[in-house]
Structure 1
Amino acid sequence: MTSAHGQLVDHPDKGGLSKDTTFQRIGFAHSEVSCDASRERYHSEARDNIQRMRDLFSPYASPSDTLRLLLEETWNPGASLLSVEGRKAFIGICRFQDQGVDLNPHTDPGTQSSLDGRTRAGRTALGQHLHQHPAHRRRTRTMGHRTWRARLQQAQGGRVWGLKRDQWGPPKAVIKPAPGDLLLLNPRQIHAVRPSSDEPRITLGHFIGYHGTDRPLTLWS
């Protein structure tokens, strides 16, 4: 994993998220789709982005491939990549949270809305993060305060992204993941990540779509 970490940190394809370049990533997430051109980019690059992440962890299996296999074997109806109008989704986006950068309280409503009615993400979805390299002082992920989208939009005001921490009370839960930990969360609940004080925080992010106990899970990033 040490070799993969070095390649991830210095990878030439690392670039800023479309909505906030403060956060760096390798790959192109479905949450960044905003028009037909970006949707075409997402699907046309999906296979290459999957292979890019696979190559970075070679000769070992990539964490995203391992997750997909475990879900396929464990969930009786199986699990597969999300398909949108017959086109496969990307899975395994690598995100970087640099030293001192605060991931403010937010939700991820794009688990359904970003699909733009072209397919249903399912009855619900789980956000899943594999922590590749939390720093020596572990980052804190906070979650809590279930709310509604209208209230969130009102609280957000004119901000492009996220909410101010002082708008909310203490978190209901605080988690300090270690390298290699798998963290599952409900992305429709407010969650946040405190800034790192030493090194960049690196995670692989996935969504797991649940469609009922008799149907396969779907996966995408």
Structure 2
Amino acid sequence: MKVPPRPASTIPLIGRILRTPIMKCLLWPMEQLTAGKTMPSDGSGIVKTDRLSSELLRDLFTNRILAIHLPAFCTAEVCERMTTNILKEKLENWNIYDLKTEFKPSDVNVFGEPFSMANKSDESWHRYFQNAISTSEKLRSMAAPYVSPYDKFRIMVDELWDDGMTVARYKGCKMSPGLVRVMYDNTETVTETSLGCHVDSSPLLSSNSGQFSLNVYLKQPEIGGHLYLWNPQITTMHEAIGHWHSVKHFFLESNYQNEELQLRFQKLLPPPIRIELKSGDAVIINTGRPHAVIPFKGGPRVSLQAFLNYKKGQPIGIWA
């Protein structure tokens, strides 16, 4: 198959611009002025429901709600079948993006090809696109004879959403529509206070476009492993610049496992909202919203994860 050209840099354009000496010089006074400034809440909350609707999706995509929590999205039989099959597979560490070092190890192992890691080499770039369909088929087979949670979600949203849902494409090539995340007991490396609060996309929220994620929890640990979400109000460039110190040092740079910075910056955020998770639950969030997994033991913690590209008037694209 024809693979699109590999990007010259893993750093997004905005990141490369912010790293230039002139931009650092221009924004330095604002960085100093906004240090220690707290962020107000936008008042959004969690909607817990057993039935997804176009209205709920619209409220999430326009940032009127913080997340959609779907209890028992998957049956116990599907969760058990997929978990058993997943834990037989060879897993790889999900290297997370960092503005300074580009990639660093995380506490998440994956089955599937994360697009965020694809640009590490020519080999990984070609492997991502060449394996996209086979990975999807493998995930589907892991659920057999039951319906894959990914297929269930894609059909459901395609029917509900006026513009439909499709597998996302990168420069014409289909992307992988999902992957598996496996995490192991982490109470020794992550504390209830430090957590791993982070964002996966721009914290500057828009009602016309955004990156969201679907997480289906196949196996929850015996203790902990729930989800924290924060709802700071950053919907205008004025608000982003007004909190530039936090945006630059906490949101645009990875401080995932830096306890000192985690403690310092979480104090500037509104109080977190907790989602109590059970095996089979699904949650949809905006990845620009700060979020974290509560420390856990009695794992492993096994989940399915995919990103959702929303742009007003276009089909929702699903990818991983």
Q: Which residue number in structure 2 is paired with residue 20 of structure 1?
A: 105
Matched pairs, number: 209
1:48 aligns with 134
Contact 1:131/1:180, CA 8 A, preserved across alignment: yes
2:116 to 18, 22, 31: 31
* 2:227 is the alignment partner of 1:105: no
CA RMSD, aligned part only? 2.6
Contact 1:99 1:198 in 2 (8 A): yes
Counterpart Cα distance in 2 of 1:137 and 1:36: 38
Q: 1:104 to 1:21 in 2, by over 3 A?
A: closer
Specify the alignment match of 2:64 in structure 1.
none
Post-superposition offset of 1:75: 0.7
Q: Is the 8 A contact 1:138 1:178 kept in 2?
A: no
The residue correspondences of 1:149-188 to structure 2 (distance < 5 A) are 151-155=246-250, 161=256, 164=259, 165-167=262-264, 168-169=266-267, 171-188=271-288
AA matched with 1:208: L
Residue in 1 that maps onto 2:291: 191
Is residue 135–residue 196 contact of structure 1 (8 Å, CA) maintained in 2?
A: yes
Structure 1 runs not aligned, ≥5 long: 112-121
Q: Which residue of 2 aligns with 1:88?
A: 174
Superposition deviation, residue 161 in structure 1: 4.1
Separation (CA, whole Å) in 1 of partners of 2:112 and 2:91? 8
What secondary structure, in the 3-state scheme, does the structure 2 residue paired with 1:109 have?
A: coil
TM-superposition CA deviations, 1:161-188 (whole Å, max 9, x none): 4553312136331111111111011111
- Structure 2 segments unaligned to the other structure (5+ residues): 1-77, 96-103, 235-239
Q: Distance in 2 between matches of 1:206 and 1:68?
A: 11
**What are the Cα deviations for residues 48-67 of structure 1, in whole angstroms up to 9, with x where unaligned?**
11111111111111111111
TM-score by length of 1: 0.83
Match of 1:8 among 86, 93, 103: 86
Which secondary structure does the structure 2 equivalent of 1:94 belong to? strand
- Stretch of structure 1 that moved more, 56-65 or 15-24: 15-24
TM-score, length basis structure 2: 0.59
Give the Cα separation in 1 of the matches to 2:202 and 2:318: 14
- Offset of 1:33 from its aligned partner? 2.7
The residue identity in structure 2 corresponding to 1:92 is: G
1:119 aligns with none
- For 1:179, the aligned partner's letter is S
In the TM superposition, residue 35 of structure 1 has moved relative to its aligned partner by 4.6
Paired residue type of 1:154: H
- Cα separation, 1, equivalents of 2:219 and 2:271: 24
Alignment of 1:196-207 (within 5 A): 196-207=296-307
* 1:104 match: secondary structure: coil
Summarize the Cα distance change of 1:153–1:73 in structure 2 as closer, same or farther, 3 Å threshold.
Answer: same
Q: How far, CA to CA, are the matches of 2:315 and 2:219 in structure 1?
A: 31
* 1:166 aligned partner, one-letter code: L
Which AA in structure 2 matches 1:4?
A: M
Q: Deviations over 1:107-149 (max 9, x none)?
A: 10289xxxxxxxxxx8212111001001233422111153658
Structure index of larger Rg: 2
**Structure 2: distance between partners of 1:48 and 1:156:** 34
